[in-house]
Amino acid sequence: MFKRRFKAQKVHKQIFRRLVHGIDRHKPYKILDAGSGRTSLSLILETYPMSHIDAVVYPGDLRKINSIKESVPMGRYRLIEQDLCLGQIAQQYEIVVAHLLLGEAAKFGSSFTLLLDTVLLLHAEKLVIIDFLEDPDVEFDLILQHAQAYGYTVKCDHTIKGSEPFHCKRFVGWHYRGFLLETEK
């Protein structure tokens, strides 16, 4: 079913690489791509060539499942269909990535706060969160408040403007804001 290798847009690469800048690219990590899609999965695979990724998608979300299968070659990742809010993921990960996930909470019958808390409860040393600054469903102040309450420290907070707008039903996205959060040790 694989047709062609997907290349993420420059803006996605820029913000992701900025957030993970200090994380050694050559070490093998266990990484969870929460709410996986072809962009985030491609970025993770390219940035961390020694790592294995669990790519979690919402059950039956063919939009993401098919785009991954069609454009990201199988190999170092395992595609898992699971509702993050219903099924507890007990495995520990060095890195968890939530790329454009939190704004989709309502789309899958959840609340922003429940999905945020679920992501923050995942067993992760480092957590990368990226979303559209213009998305009215994403509460960035709440992300920071809850992250602190769950014992995370903000290591990087970065915003970048894309070269083209992203048109969504609820908003037009120009800016991506992301955080690198680390657990306090």
Residues near 121 by Cβ (< 8 Å), separated by ≥ 6?
Answer: 150
* Residue 185 in this model has a pLDDT that exceeds 60: no
Position 76 scores a pLDDT of 85
* Residue 3 in this model has a pLDDT that exceeds 80: no
The residue among 17 and 6 whose pLDDT is bigger is 17
Residue 41 and residue 71 in contact, taking contact as beta carbons nearer than 8 Å: no
Stated pTM of the model: 0.95
Q: Name the CATH architecture for the domain at 10-183.
A: 3-Layer(aba) Sandwich (3.40)
- Highest mean pLDDT range out of 9-13, 120-124, 133-137? 133-137
pLDDT, average across residues 60-70? 93
Taking only the tens place, the pLDDT of each residue in 145-180 is 999 999 999 999 999 999 999 999 899 999 999 999
